[in-house]
């Protein structure tokens, strides 16, 4: 097992100061006083265990791209899967991590004071837990936060990284990540039963984009009442039921427009009015469908 401090794990490794696991690479970027971000990757034939001591008082916002990772601290343990978000504030805590042979993660670290200054009223989502001195919250797949994390990782990994773009992407990632945070005071993590029901509801919702079920249909089919269904979608997926459906609908529209005309694409997606389809597409992507067909989104 490798023994590391978090300040070593998320910074450039130096053989003189850290017992570096083979195959691990870290690309850190300091953004502002009290704010930094790191892209961490690990390529090895076998998993590796790391004992990490959190030696700096920062809030960590992370997104795991490749996993899973076993995480243990105190008497608690959980499995962090690809697409999961993790929010933690645990100064002085010791963590045990088991990294898989292929691991990739982006980690934004920010002091509570800097977070308060940057986030404004959104800081209230997490303030009470930070005042308690300790919080570890794992969130399921949140598409907007994960998309922002992927953009941030690409910018950090660029051979000629552009600091201003990294800064902007990091703030977007922080905004969506913080927006997905759910304090224990607000009800805590979703139960396994509800999570399975919500995943089934999402699958049913997107099964036929042209003829989606109503919220009442989803509630009846999954056994969740409509309030739990609406709140659950927001907590687990980071979007309302309608917003998630509409985003998926427009993503499929973008793909269909590569092979079909605007009118046919609209009909395939269940639109009876092409102008309504064009307006929805423009709202999502900032260009009209006909402009997308000419390569405006390439």
Local confidence band at 234 (pLDDT 50, 70, 90 cut-offs): confident
Strand pairing class (24-32; 35-43): antiparallel
CATH of 241-298, one of 2.60.40.10, 1.10.10.60, 3.40.50.1820, 3.40.50.450: 1.10.10.60
Rounded-to-integer distance, Cα 224 and Cα 213, Å? 15
Instruction: DSSP for 230-265, please give it.
Output: HHHHHHHHSS-HHHHHHHHHHHHHHHHTTTS-HHHH
Q: Give the torsion through C-alpha atoms of 226, 228, 234, 240, to 10 deg.
A: 0
- pLDDT, one tens digit per residue, over 24-46 is 888 999 999 999 999 998 888 88
Annotated domain spans of the chain: 2-186, 190-238, 241-298
Mean pLDDT of 274-288: 92
Per-residue confidence (pLDDT) for residue 190, from 0 to 100: 67
Q: How confident is the model at residue 180 (pLDDT cuts 50, 70, 90)?
A: confident
Quickly tell me which residue has 């005071």 as its tokens. Answer: 185
Q: What are phi and psi of 132, to 5 degrees?
A: -75, -10
pTM of the predicted model, to two decimals?
0.64
Dihedral class, residue 263 (left if φ above 0, else alpha if ψ from -120 to 50, else beta): alpha
Rounded distance between C-alpha atoms, residue 210 and residue 32, angstroms: 46
> CATH homologous superfamily for 2-186?
Jelly Rolls (2.60.120.10)
């Amino acid at each position: 097992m490798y023994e590391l401090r978090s300040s070593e794990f998320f910074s450039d490794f130096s053989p003189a100061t850290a017992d570096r696991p083979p195959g691990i690479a870290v690309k850190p970027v300091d953004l502002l006083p009290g704010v930094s971000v790191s892209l961490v990757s690990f390529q090895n034939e076998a998993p590796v265990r790391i004992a990490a001591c959190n030696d700096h008082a920062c809030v960590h916002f992370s997104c795991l791209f490749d996993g899973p990772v076993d995480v243990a601290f105190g008497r608690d343990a959980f499995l962090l899967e690809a697409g999961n978000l993790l929010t933690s504030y645990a100064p002085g805590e010791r963590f045990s991590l088991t990294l898989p042979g292929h691991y990739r993660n982006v980690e934004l670290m920010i002091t509570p004071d800097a977070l308060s200054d940057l986030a404004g009223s959104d800081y209230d989502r997490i303030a009470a837990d930070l005042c308690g001195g300790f919080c570890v919250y794992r969130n399921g797949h949140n598409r907007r936060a994960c998309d922002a994390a992927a953009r941030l990782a690409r910018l950090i990994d660029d051979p000629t990284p552009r600091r201003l773009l990294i800064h902007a992407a990091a703030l977007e990632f922080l905004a969506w990540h913080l927006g997905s945070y759910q304090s224990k005071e607000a009800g805590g993590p979703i139960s396994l039963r509800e999570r399975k029901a919500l995943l089934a509801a999402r699958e049913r919702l997107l099964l036929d984009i042209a003829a989606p079920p109503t919220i009442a249909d989803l509630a009846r089919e999954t056994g969740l009442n409509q309030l739990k269904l609406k709140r659950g979608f927001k907590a687990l997926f980071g979007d309302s039921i309608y917003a998630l459906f509409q985003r998926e609908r427009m993503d499929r529209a973008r793909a269909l427009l590569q092979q079909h005309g605007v009118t046919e694409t609209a009909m395939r997606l269940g639109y009876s009015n092409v102008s309504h389809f064009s307006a929805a597409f423009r709202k999502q992507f900032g260009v009209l469908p006909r402009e997308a067909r000419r390569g405006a989104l390439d």
